[in-house]
Amino acid sequence: MSTDSPGFVGADGRTFRRLLVLLLLVLAVLAFVVVESLRNLDRSIAASDWVNHTHAVISEADAIDANLAAAEGDLRTYLLTGEQRDRDTCQETFSDLAGHVDVAKALTRAAPTQYQQVLQIESLLAQRASLARELLRARAGGPGPTVAGLLAGDAGGAAAHEISRRLLALKDEQNELLAARDTAAYLQAQTTRWTVLTGTGLDILLLVAAAWLIRDDLAARRRAAAALQEANDRLETRVRERTAELAAINAQLVAQNLEDRWSHQALEHQLRYSQLIINSISDLVLVVTKALNISRLNPAVTRLTGLTAADLVDQPLARIVRLTRERGDTAPLRFDPIAQAFADGRDLRSHPAILTDHLGRTTPVRLDAFPLRDRDKVVGGVIILQPAAAPPPG
């Protein structure tokens, strides 16, 4: 049986259906055996009744035959003795005979053929009884020719013989039926035996098949459970491994995050500290590009010029600073000393200049210019302005 989930579910349903079919078959066989057995029992009971009935008919036929012989004998005895006692006995015997005939009629009334036979016998017996009555009447008057005449007309008991023959035929017929019935009963008993044995054997086989199915199903379930447990164990192991991996990765990420934050804070701290240093300087500090455009300035520039970073960044330095010559030297500058110094990669120290504020007011200053080097390349410069000392009076 498959141990995959869908297959297993299917196998489970299939096994159940098969078991159900086997159970239904067992019940069907059992029901058949019970029904057949009960029917056979009923037939046996009916046969037993019939046998009793048939024996009763045979018994009555025997009784009629015996009674007839006794009645004939009693009649002859009376005819010989003429005694009243013998007459009474004869009459009683004939009366008994009639009684047996009535019983025989009652027993055979349900079987038309037999009933007709009994009626014929009764008719013959009636003739004998009539003759007997005549003989009794005749003898009552004494022995005489009348009695002799009646006896001669009886022709040697042929009628009685006929009655006996018919009774015998009736009995033989009943005996044949009994024999046939015995055979049928035997066959029926055999049939019942084989029905029970076969039904029982079949049921046992079906139950064995059901037991085998159940055993097979249980084995499949155990295998499936073991496979499931194994799969669960593998899954749990994999989950544990993966959890450990994720935990390790997470720890790495946390550590990396902390490192990143640490680096960021260190950098931010450095920048802030550098900015604090520059902002603390009272001199005017401007950072310029190679093209001498202003890129940064310190608060001292704003204090003295009234111009903010928004006003000055990306503006030419010349907007607020103009280089001059030394006092007394009025010749115009032929070149930009700052640009020249940066091009040469050297400092420019204490050069006179004029600072102009936002209102156009000027202030003489001394200018220092330092090239900014990044990996030995001049990328711009730092301009420091100090207010020039006022000349001594006079």
Partner 1 sequence: MKKHILLVDDEAPILEVLESYLTGRGFRVSAVQSAAEARKVVQVDAPQLVITDLQLEAEDGLQLVEQLKILRPTMPVILLTGVLFDPKVVEERLSKKVAAYVSKTTSLKQLLSEVQRLVGPP
Binding residues for partner 1, rule: CB under 8 A, are 251, 254-255, 258-259, 261-263, 265-267, 269-270, 273
Extended beta strands in the chain, E state: 284-289, 294-297, 321-323, 348-356, 362-374, 377-387
Shorter beta-carbon distance to partner 1: residue 264 or 373? 264
Shorter beta-carbon distance to partner 1: residue 259 or 344? 259
CB of 262 to partner 1, least distance (A): 5
CB of 277 to partner 1, least distance (A): 10
Q: Which one-letter DSSP state was computed for residue 319?
A: G
CB of 259 to partner 1, least distance (A): 5
Shorter beta-carbon distance to partner 1: residue 35 or 267? 267
Torsion of Cα atoms, 182 then 187 then 190 then 191, to 10°: -140
| Cα gap 228→224, rounded to integer Å | 6
| Cα gap 293→377, rounded to integer Å | 18
Shorter beta-carbon distance to partner 1: residue 133 or 269? 269
CB of 255 to partner 1, least distance (A): 7
CB 358 within 8 A of CB 305: yes
Q: State the first-to-last Cα distance of the chain, in angstroms, to the nearest integer.
A: 122
Shorter beta-carbon distance to partner 1: residue 17 or 272? 272
| Cα gap 164→161, rounded to integer Å | 5
| Cα gap 316→313, rounded to integer Å | 8
Shorter beta-carbon distance to partner 1: residue 123 or 265? 265
| Cα gap 116→80, rounded to integer Å | 36
CB of 261 to partner 1, least distance (A): 5
Q: Tell how many helices (H) and how many strands (E) occur in the chain.
A: 8, 6
CB of 391 to partner 1, least distance (A): 41
CB of 280 to partner 1, least distance (A): 14
Shorter beta-carbon distance to partner 1: residue 212 or 273? 273
How many CA within 13 A on the CB side of residue 94? Answer: 20
Q: In what order do the strands lie in the sheet with 294-297?
A: 294-297, 284-289, 377-387, 362-374, 348-356, 321-323
